[in-house]
Amino acid sequence: MTTLPTLPAGGRPAEPPRPAGARPLGGPWPASARPGRDGDVLIGGVGLTEAADRFGTPLYVLDEGEVRARARAFRRALPDADVFYAAKAFLCSAMADWVADEGLGLDVCSAGELRLAAAAGFPPARILLHGNAKTPEELRLARRLRVGRIVVDGLAEIPRLAALAVADTPQRVLVRVVPGVAAGHHSAVRTGVDGQKFGFRITGGDAAEAVRRILGQPGLELAGLHCHLGSQITGTAPYLAALDRLVGLLAEIRDRHGVEPPELDLGGGHGVRYLPDGEELDPAAFAAAVTARLAARCAEHGLAVPRLLVEPGRAIAAPAGVAVYRVLSVKHTGDGRAFAAVDGGMSDNPRPALYGSAYTVRAIGRAGGGPTGTFDVVGRHCEAGDVLVHGAALPADLRPGDLLAVPAAGAYQLSMASGYNLVGRPAVAAVRDGRIRLLIRRETVEDHRAREVGR
């Protein structure tokens, strides 16, 4: 691990000159990504080799401009909707500031995320609390902070929340509904189908019963219905199918109870590119399809069109992040395979091991044009499954000390990172307009030892 001195916040590294006519790298890279001199890559005007030398590796580089641009894209596409950034993708104080500045709300699912948001000064009225197993302490904290909405995920939450209610300020709640729509890149993240831990089924009357109980509590206000189908969804069809079923349930609530909940939350799960030829769900196309279908279905049922809520997380954070690793060893085996082992791995990116997720990788600081070889880029952990990228085309003479960059690294990597083998979690730096600043320092052994209270 490189441990050179860090750059003061707001400092400017020496920026490598851009080659004349340098074009964006495109694909899964941030829009600001450009090739630099001698094989470098510039993100937000900052060279990744310089960033790695100053802050060490593994290093996560976040393009602030990319985060803001993607947040604005959702706001433009859905000007009459409420857009909540899903904090579980990745959250730090700076990220909370950026999405707040861009007019987004924040979707949190733990006391930790809620406390960090509050400490960062995020407006509580723009916070939505999720979770299939919220603790009593989390519910009390949410009520004390006066968060705008709480998503009810189980019947037991209804009396608990009602007991915390203040007469003159009822808590607005959404009922999480399971619409019976399968979507997502892996079975572990398909949350819109029956038979899993989230929400209330429409079939069998579970959702209708939750609605009945909420309407019977004067301290609770039924704001609307909620669903979340899964992750890495690249087409609109699953959202439209779910919308049809939720609007049908809204009509049943109207017919049975004489009320029309004013909000409909379609969750997140919007897919992004991880590979150069990958697909991505365009916010404008999503918005056009969903808003048209919502208006049509509500007209069929004689309903007022509810306010739409969406919760993009990956679609905002993932393309803004680039992970930078240093090669520790290169191994060629007798059966013709080649392994490039780096100083990170499944402790900072568990997605390949958990979901078989595919990434692309690029050698940086190496002039191109030479012969390439096929490598498995592997981590440093004591697991055969600790493989970050399979079959990567990298310089044939790859050697220890070389740098590798993995794009689309901003979501569900650091937020799911672990302390496996006591390898500290990486540092995080932000780039913008040719400047770089450290957001999160590298985790050390002393951080782990500080948690010990006896022996």
Sign of CA dihedral 255, 256, 260, 263: negative
- What's the token pair of residue 276? 């150069």
Specify the residue for token string 């990956």.
Answer: 314
SS3 455: coil
CA–CA distances in Å: residue 249 to residues 220, 290, 392: 19, 17, 48
Residue with tokens 């924040």: 106
Helices and strands per DSSP (H, E), number in the chain:
12, 21
Tell me which residue of 426, 347, 413 sits closest to 385, measured CA to CA. 347
Residue 102 carries which DSSP code? T
SS3 at position 363: strand
Alpha-carbon gap, residue 181 to 129, rounded angstroms: 23
Active site residue 382: yes
Report the chain's C-alpha Rg in angstroms: 23
SS3 of 209-250: the string is: HHHHHHHCCCCEEEEEEECCCCCCECCCHHHHHHHHHHHHHH
Enter the tokens of residue 141: 């904290």
Say which amino acid occupies 377.
V
- How far is it, in rounded angstroms, from Cα 453 to Cα 395? 48
Around Cβ 287, how many Cβ atoms within 10 Å? 21
Through-space distance between the first and last CA atoms of the chain, rounded to whole angstroms:
29
Which residue numbers are catalytic?
A: 382
